[in-house]
Amino acid sequence: MKLAFPVATPDTRDESMLALRGDLAEAFRLLNQLGYQGAELMARAPRELNATRIRALAREFNLALVGVSTGQLRKEDGLQLCHLDSAERENAVARTKEVIDFAREVGAPLVNIGTLRGHLPNSELREAAREAAAESISELLDYALKREVGIALEPQNRFISNWLNSVGETLEWMSRFEQPNLSLLFDAYHTLFEEASVYAALIRAFPRVSHVQVADSNRLAPGAGQVHFGELLRVLAALGYRRFVSVEVLPLPSAAEAATRASRCLRPLMEELS
């Protein structure tokens, strides 16, 4: 297993992001110094970015770009793939396609869809919005497949999203799609709220898991709460997971300090398993 940390690209404006913000070169340099091997990019408007420079910077600091998150399209621009207004939904799909193109350009294998799927109305229109989201994601899967990019759907807890909260619900919904580039992003923090056992949920989801994110029980850096990360990593290792574990935590007391604390906690545990 390898360790990654989120980095916000310069097109984002949200100061509360669960990521390193600011100059990309400085962020990549810090991750390299802390022993990280990957960066997960959080982007909003990739057309404003220089993908060639970003890829070169990652190479300079020996970091793999492990994926691109779409969360800021929802948080900053209010986009939803389940929107019942066709023009709004088409705009969300078009903007997501830009993220897919950006992922391909920087060499990131995955685009993560979490909150971008949108909020289902609590009315008779709920099923129509769910079907609208399915149409959007199917179109995006076809688009991404042609560009050799995967799409990872993320179950998120009930305080963040009002659907696709549990692993079981998400796997069932994913079964409607035939495209081979759809996978599941397993976020251990979200499963704490929705699953009787994080480990059982991980074992159930594992055949579809392409990426793993972690945070401690209080959403702070690993080591600050109640999660037994040694056990979690041992289960991942026993399942044969060899990809990246990305630390998505509150930037407290700062993002740089959170990255430092996470590295100190997780790297020795990973080295024991290597």
Give the separation between CA 259 and CA 222, rounded to whole angstroms: 10
pLDDT of the residue at 93: 98
Q: What is the pLDDT of residue 64?
A: 98
Q: Cα(188)–Cα(125) distance, rounded to whole angstroms?
A: 31
Report the domain count for the chain: 1
Given a contact cutoff of 8 angstroms between Cβ atoms, the answer to whether 188 and 198 are in contact is yes
pLDDT, position 97: 98
State the pLDDT at residue 274: 84
The pLDDT of residue 201 is 98
Per-residue pLDDT of the chain (274 residues; tens, 9 = 90+): 999 999 999 999 999 999 999 999 999 999 999 999 999 999 999 999 999 999 999 999 999 999 999 999 999 999 999 999 999 999 999 999 999 999 999 999 999 999 999 999 988 999 999 999 999 999 999 999 999 999 999 999 999 999 999 999 999 999 999 999 999 999 999 999 999 999 999 999 999 999 999 999 999 999 999 999 999 999 999 999 999 999 999 999 999 999 999 999 999 999 999 8
Provide the domain limits for residue 153: 2-273
Q: What is the CATH number of the domain that holds 100?
A: 3.20.20.150
Q: Is 23 exposed, middle or buried (0-12, 13-18, 19+ CB in 10 A)?
A: exposed
